[in-house]
């Protein structure tokens, strides 16, 4: 009892430092330990690395209560592998799955199979498609930020650097993903409200190469383009290189999303104007915490809160 109390106090400090509420974990645990799987996308991406490290650190403090299995795909676009991972975890009778979906719609059937098999499922980073879940009369909680709010945050800051009627472009993530759609909606809403002209929207699929290609095309087609709003930092980094190759560095603003450590130098130099920190580590920890609470309190999937909002923070360039 003393050991459990000490762990609770320790994790209370960890979660409080993250700006998140702390769940009350029940003392009584069913026979054996729970197994919780954290299923990520593009395991080598800094965002996924932060999630993985934070979740593993969390599990160390609750090792007597659950085992953690961190798995994921090699690339952002490998939805088939992620579906197979979820099915395998379901077959292995995993207690709960905390999922960062590669595709908001394509993962729904696998998630439905998991829930019907008695697995608790929590979504982080990217919400699952609500219409498809509603059609199955199921709900999956989303633990994460309001992506539209975050996009509006960075776009409103960009607007302070622009003039009315300036032309801007949007490089979005995977168009089927709800978080990508929300960010594009937020970018467009803020630009429209400020009187800017969104002259181009193109997918960059969250990866550097496609972000660079989309930016290069926009720059060639719109010589008066003044800014590129990017749905994540990988695409923003690609946009930086496209702007440099077009000899327009300093005349085109670029914004990102995620605040990956790799873009620190670009922020410091002003080549990226701003990004949004959505605290990957906090999302992972709180997602696992919500799953553990549901298991220990024997809460049914349909009785879980539909949206647990995590914080956002605008990160500005130090040079502008």
In a structure prediction context, what are the per-residue pLDDT tens digits for the chain, which is 320 residues long? 333 323 333 343 444 444 443 333 333 344 479 999 999 999 999 999 999 999 999 999 999 999 999 999 999 889 999 999 999 999 999 999 999 999 999 999 999 999 999 999 999 999 999 999 999 999 999 999 999 999 999 999 999 999 999 999 999 999 999 999 999 999 999 999 999 999 999 999 999 999 999 999 999 999 999 999 999 999 999 999 999 999 999 999 999 999 999 999 999 999 999 999 999 999 999 999 999 999 999 999 999 999 999 999 999 998 44
* Residues 6 or more apart whose Cβ sits within 8 Å of residue 184: 151, 170, 172, 201, 231
Whether 141 and 286 share a structural domain? yes
Q: Is residue 242 part of a domain?
A: yes
Q: How many domains in the chain?
A: 2
Q: Is residue 232 part of a domain?
A: yes
Whether 172 and 257 share a structural domain? yes
Nearest alpha carbon to residue 205 among 223, 243, 179: 179
Helix or strand or coil: residue 176? coil
Q: Does pTM surpass 0.85?
A: yes
Range of the domain at 164: 147-277
Helix or strand or coil: residue 149? helix
Whether 83 and 191 share a structural domain? no
Whether 271 and 122 share a structural domain? no
User: Nearest-5° angle of CA 20, CA 24, CA 27?
Assistant: 150
């Amino acid at each position: 009892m003393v050991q459990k109390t000490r762990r609770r106090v320790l994790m209370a400090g960890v979660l409080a430092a993250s700006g998140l509420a702390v769940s009350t974990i029940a003392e009584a645990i069913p026979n054996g330990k729970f197994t919780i799987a954290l299923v990520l996308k593009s395991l080598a991406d800094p965002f996924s690395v932060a999630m993985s490290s934070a979740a593993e650190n969390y599990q160390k403090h609750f090792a007597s209560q659950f085992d953690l299995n961190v798995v994921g795909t090699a690339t952002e676009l490998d939805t088939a592998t992620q579906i197979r991972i979820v099915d395998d975890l379901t077959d292995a009778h995993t207690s709960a799955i905390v999922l960062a979906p590669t595709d908001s719609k394509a993962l729904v059937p696998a998630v439905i199979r998991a829930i019907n098999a008695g697995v608790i499922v929590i979504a982080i980073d990217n919400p699952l498609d609500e219409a498809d879940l509603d059609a199955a009369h199921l709900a999956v909680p989303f633990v994460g930020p309001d992506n539209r709010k975050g996009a509006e945050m960075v776009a409103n800051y960009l607007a302070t650097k622009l003039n009315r009627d300036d032309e801007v472009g949007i490089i979005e993530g995977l168009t089927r993903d709800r978080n990508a759609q929300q960010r594009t909606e937020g970018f467009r809403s803020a630009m429209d409200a400020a009187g800017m002209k969104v002259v181009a929207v193109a997918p960059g699929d969250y990866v550097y190469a496609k972000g660079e290609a989309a930016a290069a095309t926009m720059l060639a087609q719109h010589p008066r383009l003044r800014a590129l709003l990017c749905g994540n930092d990988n695409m923003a980094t690609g946009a930086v290189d496209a702007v440099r190759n077009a000899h327009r560095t300093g005349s085109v603003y670029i914004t990102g999303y995620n605040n990956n450590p790799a873009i620190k130098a670009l922020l410091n130099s002003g080549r990226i104007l701003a990004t949004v920190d959505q605290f990957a580590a906090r999302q992972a920890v709180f997602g696992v915490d919500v799953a553990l609470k549901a298991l220990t309190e024997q809460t049914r999937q349909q009785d879980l809160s539909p949206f647990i909002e995590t914080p956002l923070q605008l990160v500005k360039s130090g040079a502008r």
